[in-house]
Amino acid sequence: MSELGPIFRALLRNKVGAFLLALQIALTMTIMVNAIHMIENRSSMMARPSGLDEANQFYLSSNGYAENFNERAVVEEDLRNIRALPGIVDVTQINAIPLSGGGWSMGLQTETGEDKPSVGVAVYFVDDHGIDAFGVNLIAGENFSPTEITYRQRNEQGWPQNIIVTEAMAKELFPDLTPAQVIGKTTYIGGDEPMTITGVIDQLQAPWVGWSGVERVMLVPQRTEFRSSRYFIRTEPGQRDRMMKEVEEMLVAEDRGRLIRNVRTMEETRDDSYRSYSALQTILWIIVIILTIITALGIVGMVTFSVNRRRKQIGTRRALGASRFDIMKHFMLENFLVTSVGLLLGVGSSIALNIWLVDAFSLPRIGWYYIPVAMVILWLVGQAAVFGPARKASQISPALATRTA
Amino acid sequence: MLRMQNIRKIFKTEMVETHALRDFNLEVEEGDFVAVTGPSGSGKTTFLNVAGLLETFDGGDYLLDGQSVKGMNDTQLARLRNEKIGFIFQSFNLLPDLNLFDNVDVPLRYRGFKAAERKRRIEEALEVVGLASRMKHLPAQLSGGQQQRVAIARALAGRPRFLLADEPTGNLDSQMATSVLDLMQEINNQGTTIIMVTHDPMLAKRASRNIFVRDGQVSEVGKEDDIVELLHKTAQVG
Ligand SMILES: Nc1ncnc2c1ncn2[C@@H]1O[C@H](COP(=O)(O)OP(=O)(O)OP(=O)(O)O)[C@@H](O)[C@H]1O
Ligand SMILES: [Mg+2]
């Protein structure tokens, strides 16, 4: 380390080049820190459990086209038949698929009145088999009873008496109550229509994965009579692919005046929904890697240039007693200083960019450890980049001191 | 003190082999001031580089301070250069980005001296060459003669036994050349052995001993030899 003083003073006399490289390193660190932060943020969003038994679930849609399509009869028979198949755990009719991107939402509030605050919530119309088909756990209250399931018409405005909500929704409505205490509480939908919470489930995600309220869901004990409906099906572990075929074949076997379409697994649905996330992650990784490579090449270029420019100086140092190792150390230390200045600038700009991202896109703050980790990585990148040119410098013959003009 | 026996140095390129030194024999005693003259391309710089351990040789033996340097590795040679040899170059070879203090500091750092010891030696060496007041200046802010004085201070600060100089006055006008030579003579009087390559017979005349190199071989020139003859010999090829 004893060399640091004169190396630093010499660098100050060649400010511009060193400073530009330091700026490049600062920029690389800024983008690296924030991009990896975004990558990790997306990863943690993708890792959130949906509450479902995704590996063993699929769904399909059934659309009536015939004049005499008797939806009620068909749906009830379908559900009975599907449930009777060995390998099926349970099935429910449903209006929207979790994570799929399309669905219903409403607002619930704890006091009546249009002007009172309401909490947005995703709405799933399911029957008494909903909880079982989802594979979620009831942590308080009771499941719907078969007798309370009603049919909902396309333009119906009213709501049934009872609902089941997720724990996250219960907390949002009644922050101070435990799930058990929430049972029996009244909430109001559409401003003033009362509904009673009769059950709380642990977890279930809404159809919109990017929504900040993705954990807020309510189950409404109704089947829809919209001529088009979906069946959400859960199979025994490992039976999904077989059951998909079997169920589809069974449903299309008899002409009931409807079409079976869109037989898809929950896994495909999840992949589709998060495709833009993983694409963004890939792009960010590419940017980080390319930027790091460009910075490394910039260092290689600058050190190579400076070695070539200083060949005679290096020869002179060798003549004055520098060993090959001393010459290598010289360039490594010089690079360490430039990199350090860049990284110190980078700490500031990384935090500044993050603060802006937090403001503009409500991204979370970066964890403090991003800063030291990025610094260590870029220090190592810098030292690795400088190694080759520094080694070449160390091979310069001391005779150059006398052999060049 | 310094003894070369049948030193051979061959430069090989793709096309030609140059025998830069052939059976080069020389013995230099402690306290000598040796001036080396000879035509251009005769091998003077090659001899100095071998003597200063800047270049290796292909045959013969070389004893520095009674120690054979044959077979030493690069690190050992660097260490020996650093401890025993001071260099003065024709184009001064100061490091342009370092001020005078840091320039003189370079060999002392490689020596591993402590900061206080280095500071004492640097100030003392710059004092000797009369530039102590300009320690913070950059080389570019000095005249050629002053730069060469700094180079001498740098060579002296490590208190080497040998001072090797390749055309130390080659880039200086005659007045500055004289003052640099005065300084070297003073250093020699303090006991440092000096070997100096020069083209200038007038300067060579001031050395205690003159050798003449031709075709990579030494021929001694006595002190009493006619300076005109020397001039003549040099002019023949140079
Ligand atoms: N690196 C090299 N590769 C090939 N040949 C070389 C090399 N260095 C020197 N030579 C050759 O060795 C011979 C001796 O060169 P040297 O530099 O020792 O001469 P010199 O006496 O110092 O000449 P000058 O007075 O011009 O400085 C010359 O023929 C030269 O061309
Ligand atoms: Mg020469």
Please report the pLDDT score of residue A12 as a whole number. 81
Please give the residue range of the domain that contains residue B8.
2-237
Same domain, A28 and A118: no
Same domain, A288 and A252: no
The residue whose CB lies within 8 Å of the most ligand 1 atoms, and thus the one to mutate among B36, B45, B195, is B45
CA A258 from chain centre, in angstroms, equals 37
Nearest residue of chain B to residue A321 (CA atoms)? B82
Summarised one tens digit per residue, pLDDT across range A241-284 is 999 999 999 999 888 889 999 999 999 999 999 999 999 999 99
Nearest Cα of chain A lies from the Cα of B168 at a distance, in angstroms, of 11
Q: pLDDT grade, residue B220 (50/70/90)?
A: confident
Cβ A322–B105 below 8 Å, yes or no? no
Q: Report residue B138 as tokens.
A: 């950059």
Summarised one tens digit per residue, pLDDT across range A142-180 is 999 999 999 999 888 899 999 999 999 999 999 999 999
Residues within 8 A of A (CB atoms), B 74-113 only: 74-75, 78-79, 81-83, 87, 89-91, 93, 95-99, 102, 105-107, 109-111
Residue A302 and residue A311: Cα distance in Å, rounded?
Answer: 14
Q: Whose C-alpha lies nearest to ligand 1, atom 24?
A: B40
Q: Does the interface ipTM go beyond 0.90?
A: yes
Bridge partners, residue A231, by sequence: A60, A93
Residue A187 and residue B35: Cα distance in Å, rounded?
Answer: 108
Q: Whose C-alpha lies nearest to ligand 1, atom 4?
A: B11
Same domain, A209 and A94: yes
Same domain, A210 and A103: yes
Q: Taking the CA of residue B36 as centre, how many other CA atoms within 13 Å lie in the half-sphere pointing to its CB?
A: 26
Dump strand ranges (E) for chain B: 2-12, 17-28, 33-37, 59-64, 67-68, 85-88, 162-166, 193-197, 209-214, 217-221
Q: Are A398 and A319 in contact (CB under 8 A)?
A: yes
Is the pLDDT reported for residue A187 higher than 50? yes
Q: Chain B contact for A399, CB < 8 A?
A: yes
How many residues comprise chain A? Answer: 405
Instruction: For residues B52-60, give the mean pLDDT.
Output: 94
Residue A85 and residue A65: Cα distance in Å, rounded?
Answer: 26
pTM over 0.90: no
Using the structure block, give the residue that is written with the tokens 């004289």: B178
Summarised one tens digit per residue, pLDDT across range A333-378 is 999 999 999 999 999 999 999 999 999 988 888 889 999 999 999 9
Q: Taking the CA of residue B101 as centre, how many other CA atoms within 13 Å lie in the half-sphere pointing to its CB?
A: 15
Same domain, A124 and A204: yes
Is the pLDDT reported for residue B221 higher than 90? no
Same domain, A223 and A285: no
Burial annotation A298-334 (CB, 10 A radius, 16+ → b, else e):
bbbebbbebbeebebbbbbbbbbbbbbebbbbbbbbb
Q: Chain B contact for A355, CB < 8 A?
A: no
Ligand 1 centroid, distance to B12 Cα (angstroms): 12
Residue A268 lies in a domain: no
Of A190 and A356, the one with more pLDDT? A356
Q: Report residue A273 as tokens.
A: 């929904």
Cβ A402–B83 below 8 Å, yes or no? no
Please give the residue range of the domain that contains residue A391.
4-47+275-401
Which strands form A258-265's sheet, in the order they lie side by side?
A88-94, A228-235, A57-64, A258-265
The residue whose CB lies within 8 Å of the most ligand 1 atoms, and thus the one to mutate among B11, B48, B195, is B11
Cβ B45–A322 below 8 Å, yes or no? no
Cβ B93–A316 below 8 Å, yes or no? yes
Residue A265 lies in a domain: no
Q: pLDDT grade, residue A319 (50/70/90)?
A: very high
Q: Are A149 and A127 in contact (CB under 8 A)?
A: yes
* Final residue in a domain of this structure, among A256, A285, A314: A256
Same domain, A24 and A120: no
Summarised one tens digit per residue, pLDDT across range B126-147 is 998 999 999 999 999 999 999 9
What total number of domains does chain B contain? 1
Q: Are A124 and A218 in contact (CB under 8 A)?
A: yes
Q: pLDDT grade, residue B235 (50/70/90)?
A: low
Instruction: Output phi, psi for B206, to 5 deg.
Output: -80, -15
Bridge partners, residue B214, by sequence: B217
Residue A59 lies in a domain: no
Is the pLDDT reported for residue B238 higher than 50? no
Q: Whose C-alpha lies nearest to ligand 1, atom 28?
A: B41
Nearest Cα of chain A lies from the Cα of B230 at a distance, in angstroms, of 24
| Nearest Cα residue to B30 out of B66, B1, B67 | B1
Residues 6+ apart with CB under 8 A from B13: none
Q: pLDDT grade, residue A88 (50/70/90)?
A: very high
| Nearest Cα residue to A404 out of B166, B215, B217 | B166
Is the pLDDT reported for residue B224 higher than 90? no
Same domain, A118 and A250: yes
| Nearest Cα residue to A402 out of B89, B116, B78, B118 | B89
Same domain, A283 and A168: no
Residue A308 and residue A314: Cα distance in Å, rounded?
Answer: 10
Bridge partners, residue A108, by sequence: A119, A189
Residue A299 and residue A23: Cα distance in Å, rounded?
Answer: 12
Same domain, A173 and A297: no
Please report the pLDDT score of residue A66 as a whole number. 86
Is the pLDDT reported for residue B225 higher than 60? no
Residue B186 and residue B189: Cα distance in Å, rounded?
Answer: 5
Please report the pLDDT score of residue A192 as a whole number. 86
Residue A170 lies in a domain: yes
Q: Are B75 and B17 in contact (CB under 8 A)?
A: no
Please report the pLDDT score of residue A165 as a whole number. 96
Please report the pLDDT score of residue B167 as a whole number. 92
Please report the pLDDT score of residue A114 as a whole number. 81
Q: pLDDT grade, residue B237 (50/70/90)?
A: very low
| Nearest Cα residue to A123 out of A60, A184, A189 | A189
Instruction: For residues A220-245, give the mean pLDDT.
Output: 94
Is the pLDDT reported for residue A182 higher than 80? yes
Q: What is the mean pLDDT of chain B?
A: 90
Please report the pLDDT score of residue A100 as a whole number. 94
In chain A, what residues touch B166 (CB-CB under 8 Å)? Answer: 402
Ligand 1 environment, Cβ below 6 A: B 11, 13, 18, 20, 38, 40-46
Instruction: For residues B4-27, give the mean pLDDT.
Output: 93
Summarised one tens digit per residue, pLDDT across range B88-139 is 999 999 999 999 999 999 999 999 999 999 999 999 999 989 999 999 999 9
Residue A195 and residue A161: Cα distance in Å, rounded?
Answer: 5
Same domain, A15 and A159: no
Atom of ligand 1 nearest to the CA of B216: 14
What total number of domains does chain A contain? 2
Q: pLDDT grade, residue B229 (50/70/90)?
A: low
Q: Which residue type, as a one-letter code, is found at position A377?
A: I
Instruction: For residues B196-225, give the mean pLDDT.
Output: 84
Nearest Cα of chain A lies from the Cα of B81 at a distance, in angstroms, of 5
Cβ B95–A325 below 8 Å, yes or no? no
Is the pLDDT reported for residue A1 higher than 50? no
Is the pLDDT reported for residue B203 higher than 80? yes
Using the structure block, give the residue that is written with the tokens 């060496």: B125
Nearest residue of chain B to residue A318 (CA atoms)? B78
* Final residue in a domain of this structure, among A191, A225, A256: A256
CATH number (domain holding residue B107)? 3.40.50.300
Q: Are A119 and A174 in contact (CB under 8 A)?
A: no
Same domain, A287 and A328: yes
Q: Chain B contact for A2, CB < 8 A?
A: yes
Residue A263 lies in a domain: no
Summarised one tens digit per residue, pLDDT across range B27-36 is 999 999 999 9
Please report the pLDDT score of residue B228 as a whole number. 52
| Nearest Cα residue to B83 out of A320, A315, A323 | A320
Nearest residue of chain A to residue B56 (CA atoms)? A399
Cβ-based neighbour number of residue A66 at 10 Å: 12
Residue A330 and residue B222: Cα distance in Å, rounded?
Answer: 46
Residues 6+ apart with CB under 8 A from B99: A9, B135, B136, B137, B138
Is the pLDDT reported for residue B232 higher than 90? no
Helix (H, G, I), strand (E, B) or coil at B94: coil
